[in-house]
Amino acid sequence: MYQALLISYGLISLAVIVLILLQQGKGADAGASFGGGASGTIFGSAGSGNFLSKMTAILATVFFVISIMIGNINSHRHNVTQGKFDDLSSTAEQIQQQQKLEIPAVENKNSDIPQ
């Protein structure tokens, strides 16, 4: 499953790059107004902008969904191999005990100072 997601992720990223590079900029329509012959193209007289922009939006959405899926799989991959979450309660208790031991030592030093 993970390898299939990675392969599809790579293919979709390449497809998004190609679709973005195929799209024309806003200034490219100036030549078409003088009889560029756009009505005989494969995408019709409306041009390829509508088709390419829709396909780019769809593939970009799929790209982000697969990115989230791969990120979720990677974040939980360590927990599956370990079998359980890390238990930090004993470490926290040790730190609290050390802090309790250090506090009276600080209070004794401050008691020597006249107020």
Residue 62: per-residue pLDDT: 95
Quick check: 70 and 6 in contact, CB under 8 A?
yes
Token readout for 110 is: 């401050």
Mean pLDDT of the chain: 75
Q: How confident is the model at residue 83 (pLDDT cuts 50, 70, 90)?
A: very low
Give mean pLDDT, residues 94-110. Answer: 69
Residue 107, number of CB atoms within 10 A of its CB: 9
The residue to which tokens 């993970």 are assigned: 2
- Given a cut of 50, whether residue 35 has pLDDT beyond it is yes
CA distance 15 to 90: 51
pTM here is: 0.51
* C-alpha 88 chain-centroid distance: 29
CA distances, 76 to each of 10, 79, 86, 89, 101 (Å): 22, 5, 13, 21, 38
User: Which of 76, 87, 73, 28 lies closest to 52, judged by CA?
Assistant: 28
